[in-house]
Homo-oligomer: A and B are copies of this chain.
Amino acid sequence: MNIQEKSLNYLKSLTAETISNAKSGHTGSALGASSIILALFHDHLRFDKTGTNWLGRDRFVLSAGHTSAMLYSILHLFGYDISIDDLKHFRKYGSKTPGHPEYGVVPGVETTTGPLGQGVANAVGMAIAAEKMHNLFPNLFDNYTYCYAGDGCLMEGVANEACSLAGTLKLSKLILLYDDNNITIDGERTIANCEDISKKYEAMGWNVILVKQGNNYSACSKAISKAKKSSKPTIIIFKTVIGIGTKKEGTSSVHAYPLPIDELVELKTDLGVSENFFIPEDVYAFCREATEKNDNLINEWNTLFEEDKQKYNRYFNLKPYNFEKALKVICSTPDLAGRDASGKVLCDLAEDNYFFGGTADLGPSTKAVVKTTEQPTPTYFNASDYFGLSGRNIHFGVREHAMGSICNGIALYESNLNVFDSTFMAFSNYMLPALKMRAMMETPVLSILSHDSIDIGEDGPTHQPIEQLSQLRQIIGLDVFRPGTYAEVVATYKHFIEKRKPTILAITKSKISNIEASTIEKAEKGGYVLFETGKKPEVEIFATGREIYIAIEVANKIKGASVRVISMPCISEFEKQDATYKSKVLLKSPKIKIAIEASNDNIWHKYIGENGLLFNIESYQFSGNGDEVYKKAGFDSNIISSKINKILSKKK
């Protein structure tokens, strides 16, 4: 037996033991894919055993995240900070070896995976970022992106969208390692998917390589060598046997089946392994070859990086942003549509700093298009001109979901880039799984979601967001801004750029303006006093976005009591403020508390209580003129103020 085979056997044994010991996990693909991933790590992958510190490393994404035990065994073998003891704690509370690979928890994991398809789209994003960085710094960045995926990943829409774009962009250094074991949870793959996958990927502009012996180390390694030479993205179709070597091999029942002790012993015996949780020294030595080779590469790269550091910092670190200047730029034009204000701020900030992103075929509508004095015509990242600095925008096509996941991948590759994506707010639904992953990983991407309420008008209820605002606010770790003034728009960009947090910019197509009491500093705090009709206010009105203008009108129409209007562009940021600040903004015991927002979010009851007055929307609206739709839904200061006055007069 050669050392490759021996190593493969010990890898399989260790993985199967890890899962059996946890009594939970996915033995099937973990055994079936061992050959592919061992060959990749030993013969090809440029990795950093300390984790994700080396910027020049190849990227590896385990899109089929349930194969985690195999990955953790591999990481152990190749010198990452995963010990045998960590493997013994697989899937235990708070361990370094969770059920699915988690970014920031497991060393070397590039992105959190588990929800199928996401990893494939992340990998496409990483490959885009790699090309972009290669073009900015040709000496530093020339890495490959490898992605391991199973049938489940390839069936998901998000993966199909992403792979279609990858073919269009000719991302030649993207290599998809497809574990074609023909088995899904419900049974054979063909019960739900009869695609000719090879032909389909060719049709999408991919290079296709078939490996009939996918469980053979050298067959796997040779195929990867071949893929690296392609001028297109490559899918390698590895024909493998799920749960190879076990009694249940080749069936769906081995998918999530921790081997019972007798079956584990039988498998280990067949593999020639007699020890428990043990790796012999020659296997460690075999893996160390690759680790040491990579340690040398890292040293060489660091020398190169020192040379280019100044240039790198110029792009990503040095220039301080001038947000007040950006505000002045838009203040020169009063009454801009919200989306136009956003677009202008984006372009102004992009003058000195690197923004990279795009829209899902809605550039002319959401205005999320980078133009600069130097490049007054927007430049696009594409197959023909990405050799240069020119492409600052991406045509994502009508692929909202992949756009979101791809941007996660871009930002995961280089979190100093100012990455943005954009579509209509109504279609944020399509991106939700990507936004969730982004929030969970705290990946800095700005989503510019325009047409943020029913005043989109004529396109009708399918295009009029009502529940989207609240659905986005529910995502833990996503900072949702809905600015209504110029300063609040700039504050949103400032929050994203300085805090490097996943941020939503929900922006109206209607006009907004500059209000003196609204400053960038105040807006950044998430909530602040925007307006008061007199001293000692007894009525408190919360509003966001376009509704702050109605709130001010309403305040002026309230009789017999002073009114405070609180603008709340970002509730989650306001929540983070200290008690002193909050007590300055919130009234102590107002006569009545009111919230006005053209959404159906119930979070306002947290502020106005069960007896407060909530002016919102609780039914789908009609196709019609935007202002008319808005007014008919009740967003009219006369209607609102008369209701409040009626209640106030009763309270007297």
Question: Which residues of A are interface residues toward B (Cβ below 8 A)?
Answer: 22, 24-25, 65, 91-95, 98-100, 102, 112-117, 151-153, 155-161, 164-165, 167-168, 184-187, 190-200, 202-205, 359, 361-365, 380, 382-383, 395-402, 426-427, 429-430, 432-433, 436-437, 440, 458-463, 466-467, 470-471, 474-477, 600-603, 605-611, 618-620, 622-625, 628-629, 632
Contacts and interface: CB of A to CB of B under 8 A. Distances in A.
B187 A395 contact: yes
Given A102-B460, A474-B601, A607-B610, 20 more contacts: A93-B628, A99-B459, A99-B460, A113-B462, A114-B459, A156-B157, A157-B157, A157-B402, A164-B193, A167-B194, A184-B397, A185-B365, A187-B395, A430-B432, A436-B467, A466-B476, A476-B620, A602-B606, A603-B605, A609-B610
A429 B459 CA distance: 24
Contacts of A397: 155, 184, 192-193
A29 to B, nearest CB: 13
B440 A462 contact: yes
Nearest to A470: B474
A205 B190 CA distance: 12
A116 B204 CA distance: 20
Contacts of A632: 93
Contacts of A24: 458
Contacts of A198: 203
Given A102-B461, A361-B186, A609 B605 contact: yes
B155 A399 contact: yes
A115 B427 contact: yes
A605 B612 CA distance: 11
A380 B436 contact: no
A471 B436 CA distance: 12
Contacts of A202: 196, 199, 203
Contacts of A474: 467, 470-471, 474, 600-601
Number of copies: 2
Nearest to A165: B192
B100 A462 contact: yes
Nearest to A602: B603
Contact of A622 (B94, B203, B429): B94
Nearest to A426: B115
Nearest to A159: B157
Nearest to A192: B397
Contacts of A610: 605-610
Contacts of A65: 462
A463 to B, nearest CB: 6
Given A460-B114, A474-B471, A610-B605, A362 B200 contact: no
A116 B401 CA distance: 12
Most buried by B among A395, A429, A440, A618: A429
Contacts of A197: 203
A623 B98 CA distance: 5
Contacts of A430: 115, 156-157, 432-433
Contact of A203 (B200, B382, B459, B619): B200
Contact of A114 (B95, B203, B463): B463
A116 B600 contact: no
Contacts of A471: 432, 470-471, 474
A167 B151 CA distance: 16
Given A160-B157, A194-B168, A474-B467, A459 B605 contact: no
Nearest to A365: B185
B100 A460 contact: yes
A205 B195 contact: yes
A440 B620 contact: yes
Nearest to A190: B168
